[in-house]
Amino acid sequence: MKALEGVRVLDMTHVQSGPTCTQLLAWFGADVIKVERPGVGDATRGQLRDIPDVDSLYFTMLNHNKRSITLNTKDEKGKEIFTRLIEECDVMVENFAPGALDRMGFSWERIQEINPRMIYASVKGFGPGPYAQCKVYENVAQCAGGASSTTGFLDNLPLVTGAQIGDSGTGLNLALGIVTALYHREKSGKGQRVHAAMQDGVLNLCRVKLRDQQRLQHGPLTEYSQFGEGIEFGDATPRAGNDSGGGQPGRILKCKGWQTDPNAYTYFITQAAVWKNICDVIGRPEWKEDPDFSTPPARLPRLNEVFDAIEQWTMSKTKYEVMDICNPLDIPVGPILSMQELSEEASLRDTGTIVEVDHPTRGKYLTVGNPVKLSNSPSEVKRSPLLGEHTTEILQQVLGYSTGEISGLREAGAVGSEDVNT
């Protein structure tokens, strides 16, 4: 039995943040019913398509293990069906622009009336306050949550990161809020509202930068490269290039082949505890006892010199050789792995972190699997549903409608007929 078996989720999510959350719940065993607009569906089905008329990878990689029903929730009959679904489900998840569900007639108050045990979970761009009504996409959240002002190099533009910390990151927070509320419901018997704002999620992940903002009031940030370079600090936490965010200085360094391979680099951390091993490995044994280099505070103003010397050594090795030599010596290093290398990495396939899935119209493709592994509830990644694939099945099995009633609902346009010929 899967950990969340028996939990039924009414999934009104679209794009990335909400679907990340409901996909996780589905991987843990919940029955996730994705409600989509007839004939249209989640906008990402058609975005960034690589194969004509086939659900995009963007969609398929965010909607595994779900069932799809097409339902017009703005139509009166559609609203009746939606009300019945609220009665039958434990959790409702949505990430519409602020106010969309209220405009449909399904405010939190109304949902509680229909089902007092319902857990109603939302992602929005911002929490209550001046920006509460704004629409938000990933990069807006990264900018408004403090990630961009602290990412990039000091003398250049703020940057966004490739990791979808605003969307997928907030989806993870929402999933935790939902299972916490489910646990609470066991004792209270009541549902509750769960809200996760993307700005809050990004800021939470940037806590070390808020830490540094406060440290700045008491002096320069000595582990930042700009300290060693004699560049003054301003009022706000600066961009720090590839400096390590912690107390152990680190940088990205060139490895053998860097002239032609854009990913021939390694991250190298000069952890104080293994400084002597680092000196030996890079051929600078004299630094072990030299007072200018032997202690972490002495090295701080000389980090450029230290990393230049380490880079002379890493440039003579491939990123994998650096890893093979440093790991037995307890020196923390990490190769810069490309998406191509990751997709071919056998150990990630073995653990189910990367999975190959077969899809009826797309064929085989790779996707990420569940990053959280439960020993008694392993995740099995199943393909995403076609638009409306389970409309009849859900109307019959979950809500008990007869075939005749379903035909009537189709004729009235309350539900879609995408699944009729499949």
Residues acting as catalytic residues: 167
Measured from the CB atom, the residue of 45 and 251 that comes closer to ligand CAO is 45
CB of 397 to ligand CAO, least distance (A): 20
List residues near ligand CAO by CB under 6 A: 15-18, 35-37, 43, 71-74, 95-97, 100, 103-104, 123-125, 135-138, 167
Angle made by CA atoms 134, 140, 142, in degrees to the nearest 5: 130
User: Tokens at residue 229, please?
Assistant: 């370079």
How far is CA 198 from its chain centroid?
11
Token look-up 């290093």 returns 333
Pairwise CA distance, residues 318 & 264, whole Å: 7
Cβ-based burial of 257 (10 A; exposed 0-12, middle 13-18, buried ≥19) = middle
Reduced to 3 states, what is the DSSP secondary structure of residue 196? Answer: strand
Contacts of 210 (CB under 8 A, 6+ apart): 146, 203, 237
Contacts of 53 (CB under 8 A, 6+ apart): 361
Q: Are 175 and 167 in contact (CB under 8 A)?
A: no
DSSP string covering 327-363: GGGT--EEE---HHHHHT-HHHHHTTSEEEEEETTTE
Reduced to 3 states, what is the DSSP secondary structure of residue 302? Answer: helix
Closest CA to 142 of 67, 224, 207, 206: 206
CB of 198 to ligand CAO, least distance (A): 6
Contacts of 102 (CB under 8 A, 6+ apart): none
Q: 167-188 vs 198-205: helix axis angle to the nearest 10?
A: 100
- Between the two ends of the chain, the Cα-to-Cα distance in Å is 30
Measured from the CB atom, the residue of 125 and 191 that comes closer to ligand CAO is 125
CB of 59 to ligand CAO, least distance (A): 12
